[in-house]
Chains A and B, each alone.
Chain A
Amino acid sequence: MTDEELQKQTEAGVSAQHGDGESYRHVFNALKKEPAFHVSLSFADRVLARIEKKEEQRDFRWLAVGILLLVIALIVVLALTKSFTTGIFSFISGYPGLIIFGIAFVLLLQWVDRKLIRKEKGLV
């Protein structure tokens, strides 16, 4: 009997108790069994932690890009208008309460987003 026929027979559950048939029976029995390696119990937690870290890094990169673009825009505007004055800053000094409220509001929104919305979605 050829090896091809023996393999088909063994796969169908018909195998000899001697010679090549017996060897194939041992091989097929072992092949069905799971490999010894298994991931750790905390595997899913570790993957999710890596995803969270990656997303935080991505957020930070976008923030850095945004700040860089803002600085570039400011430089371009100043260069084009050739008018660097403190006029805009004197406007800010006239409304300290409004500016503090604005900053506090943005920070509060960030906090709410992180603590409530992202947590609800399981992102944090």
Chain B
Amino acid sequence: MTDDKALVAQVLGGDQQAFRMLIKQHERLVSHMIGRLINKPEDREELCQDVFLKVYDKLGEFTFQSKLSTWIATIAYRHGINHLRKRRVPISDLPEDETSIERFIAIDDASEILAEREMDQIVFTLIEKLPPQYKAILTLYHVEEMSYPEIVEITGLPEGTVKNYLFRARQLLKEKVKQYLGKEATL
């Protein structure tokens, strides 16, 4: 936190090299968040740049109520979600009806999956198909190793919803992997 304060003070003092350092420290976090939320590869880099432009503009408003990384992740998350909303991409939830869930876990794209031999790649492909909020929560929890209160702050969702999305996303991924493993065993 002290380092963050010193870095922010330097940036606000007009030191652009300090801002370069801030970018270097947080570009991984922002690229993970935007990379998971946005499926179109050509949009990702520019959106990451937009996030840091916002960080630069709003840094004077940062009050150190949270970690700098949490604040930057919040900006990245909201920027990504707003981008998807403008393109009318459904972001909130998996459809509640059983058929939609069954469609997700059904092996209707077995050839696509069988072509990808590595299990990690299979799971990555499945994550791509999840709604954006699920993807964001999975990334914040598993890749960034953030706590529930931090994820709540970033996403603005209640803690119960965060836990529920995390549970359901893992469960859906597990069902799909189980089907793949079953299929593989019969080959």
Contacts and interface: CB of A to CB of B under 8 A. Distances in A.
Interface in B9-46: 14-17, 19-20, 23-24, 27-28, 30-32, 34-36, 41, 44-45
Contacts, number: 108
Residue picked from A22, A31, A32, A36, most chain B C-beta under 10 Å: A31
Interface residues of A, number: 34
Residue picked from A22, A27, A35, A48, most chain B C-beta under 10 Å: A27
User: Which applies to chain B's interface (DSSP): helix, strand, loop or mixed?
Assistant: helix
B45 A40 contact: yes
A121 B20 CA distance: 13
B157 interface: no
Interface of B: 14-17, 19-20, 23-24, 27-28, 30-32, 34-36, 41, 44-45, 48-49, 52-53, 56, 119-120, 122-124, 127, 138-139, 142-143, 167, 170-171, 173-175, 177-178, 181
Interface of A: 3-4, 7, 19-20, 22-24, 26-40, 43-44, 46-48, 50-51, 54, 121-123
